[in-house]
């Protein structure tokens, strides 16, 4: 009767004595790993900074009543151009833009064109607007 329980008890004691040394953890390798990671992050973090200069808009509201109506540039199907319902030729556009810009330093423009207008005509007008230093440009499409 005493043979079977003593055998099991001895096995338990042996297994407990084997694992008794696991109560102490050696944290030296863990600290080495943490220090290596710290050095890696310290080296790579300055390289992640972005020195891109952005021209962000100011957080101010425009003064009330200072809203200007946009200037419309209409491009017809055959390439005819009208600025604010006044017929114009593409060679006259820089002079017209300079006259409008004299009254308002940053005038808004909207280019309206038929869907049959050649793409090159609209791009040529946008190039002239950019050369005249006009930045507020929008495109309008006919409602279908």
Most confident residue range from 50-59, 73-82, 112-121:
73-82
Q: Right CATH number for 71-140 from 3.30.420.270, 3.90.1570.10, 3.40.140.10, 3.40.640.10? A: 3.30.420.270
- Alpha-helical (H) ranges within 20-113 are 28-48, 93-103
- pLDDT on residue 5: 54
Lowest mean pLDDT among 3-12, 62-71, 118-127: 3-12
Q: Is pLDDT above 70 for 44?
A: yes
Determine contact, residues 111/126, Cβ cutoff 8 Å.
yes
Give residue 109's pLDDT: 92
Residue with tokens 């944290």: 27
Delimit the domains of the chain by residue range.
Answer: 9-48, 71-140
Q: What pLDDT band is residue 33 in, cutting at 50, 70 and 90?
A: very high
Tell me the two tokens of residue 44.
Answer: 């790579």
């Amino acid at each position: 009767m005493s043979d079977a329980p003593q055998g099991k008890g001895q096995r338990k004691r042996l297994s407990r004595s084997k694992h008794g040394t696991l109560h102490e953890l050696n944290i030296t390798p863990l600290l080495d790993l943490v220090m290596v990671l710290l050095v890696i992050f310290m080296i790579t973090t300055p390289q992640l900074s972005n020195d891109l200069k952005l021209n962000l808009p100011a957080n101010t509201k425009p003064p009330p009543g200072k809203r200007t109506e946009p200037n419309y540039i209409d491009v017809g199907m055959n390439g005819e151009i009208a600025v604010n319902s006044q017929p114009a030729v593409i060679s006259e556009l820089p002079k017209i833009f300079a006259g409008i810009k004299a009254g308002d330093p940053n005038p808004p423009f909207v280019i309206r064109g038929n869907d049959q207008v050649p793409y090159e005509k609209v791009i040529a007008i946008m190039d002239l607007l950019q050369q005249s230093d006009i930045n507020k440009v929008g495109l309008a499409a006919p409602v279908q």
